[in-house]
Amino acid sequence: MSEVIDRFMRYISVDTMSAEDADQVPSTPGQMSLAGQLADELRSIGAQDVSLSEHGYVFAVIPATAGCENAPALGLIAHMDTSPAISGADIHPQLVKDYDGTDICLNRELDIWLRVSEFPDLTRYKGQDLITTDGTTLLGADDKAGVAEIMTAAAWLIAHPEVAHGKICIGFTPDEEVGCGTKCFDLKAFGADIAYTVDGGSLGELEYENFNAASGKVSIHGASIHPGTAKGKMKNALLLGMEFQSLLPVFDNPMYTEGYEGFIHLDQMSGTVEEAALDYIIRDHDRAKFEEKKKTFALCADFMNRKYGEGTVEYTVKDSYFNMREVIESHMYLIDNAREAMEELGITPIITPIRGGTDGARLSFMGLPCPNLCTGGHNFHGKYEFTCVQSMEKIAELLVQIVRKYAN
């Protein structure tokens, strides 16, 4: 088994599922456990200035080689946590060698299959080796594949001091999946001038655009009356919540959108006749369209209050992150260098907008330009997640090739 896959298998054995609405970083103890292991491993391969913060951030440095001291300090970043959408505990990865292009049985006892008809991307991996789940957990390629690839590239560079490069700053972060990956990120301590997150999908993906993002919360105050005597008195908060949803544009819904199209997504709804709560996420790549979606959200609430009485609907809209393109457009050499490195290794670049967010977006607006690179994984956040062995090995090579681009 190659070094990158050996590392990946070790890392996914640690349960690092992050937790929503936790009051500390990292949000779960497993993340600190893996952070400690990674810090020890960095020391063992010869990285310098290895640190583990109280919040679970692992930083390390590979010093510049002689003559490259004035090159920009390049950061490579991946997150350690896995999504709380599905369990990341007791993962049983399955190695499918020389994949034959047909459906893959993940769990015969539970009759769970990874079917080509549902996931046609599988066909591109015929003849290669895949790592899948057993159908009961996620795999953890998001983003332990990125962690393994960075660690493997770092070990190779340290073992080959003849390869010229500038200062390399390595960062492994907690709680990206719950939106807190940069909450306690110390840019000064990290020490990079520019960086890449390694947190994307299939081999060749290169991303410098992401959604502008906001969260929207709606609280609806109804009036509960015995249904036998409710005429003219009851105000059913659940029905008012359904009415609020019906006022939003029908096709501004993720099930109808792709590419650069944004959406307003009802993520959660709960309540009773007396009180109801609706949680939304609002997304768009275009800042003007993003602001218009937030305005529409507010107008729906205002209409409901005019119809049913002031105070019936309370709402908040809170910005989460913005499209990193606004920052990266002034640093397009980051994209050009990554694309050239891919082409030199025979990788076809796939430059595509992220229909989501990344720590790189927040870091870019904090002052660290930080586009996103591929990891080789697919179907993140679910039991159908898989990754390709050959892709992960190639991405470790790609990181070395990108590092070389910043030697002067």
For 82-93, what is each residue's pLDDT tens digit?
Answer: 999 999 999 999
- Active-site residue among 15, 41, 81, 175? 81
Cβ–Cβ under 8 Å, residues 56 and 80: yes
- Short-list 317, 31, 47, CA closest to 159: 47
Which domain, by its residues, includes 285?
212-321
Q: Are residue 311 and residue 401 in the same domain, yes or no?
A: no
Question: 112 and 98 in one domain?
Answer: yes
Q: Which of 193, 205, 174, 209 is nearest to 75 (CA)?
A: 193
Of 267, 297, 321, the position where a domain reaches its end is 321
Full strand arrangement of the beta sheet holding 94-96: 94-96, 130-132, 386-388, 377-378
pTM for this entry? 0.91
Residues 379 and 355 placed together within one structural domain of the fold:
yes
- Look at residue 231 in the predicted model and tell me its pLDDT: 95
> pLDDT tens across 18-31, in order?
998 888 999 999 99
If asked whether residues 277 and 345 sit together in one domain, one would say no
Q: At residue 408, does pLDDT exceed 90?
A: no
Residue 34 and residue 69 in one domain: yes
Active site residue 81: yes
Residue numbers in the known binding site for Zn(2+) are 79, 142, 177, 199, 381
For the chain, percent of residues with pLDDT exceeding 90:
97
Same domain membership, residue 251 and residue 388: no
pLDDT band of 1, cuts 50, 70, 90: low
Supply the CATH number for residue 339's domain.
3.40.630.10
Q: Helices then strands (H, E): number in the chain?
A: 10, 18
CA distances from 407 to 19, 69, 75, 164, 196 (A): 40, 9, 13, 6, 16
Report the candidate in 361, 395, 401, 405 with the shortest Cα–Cα distance to residue 151: 395
176 given a catalytic annotation: yes
**Binding residue positions:** 79, 142, 177, 199, 381
Q: Which residues contact 358 (CB under 8 A, 6 or more apart)?
A: 176, 197, 199, 207, 210, 324, 372
Q: If you average pLDDT over residues 330-346, what whole number do you get?
A: 98
What is the residue-averaged pLDDT of the chain? 96
Instruction: For residues 151 and 107, state if they share a domain.
Output: yes
The active-site residue out of 41, 129, 134, 176 is: 176
HSE at residue 404, side-chain half, CA atoms within 13 A, is: 17
Tokens (6 digits) for 355 = 């229909």
Q: Residue 399 pLDDT > 80, yes or no?
A: yes
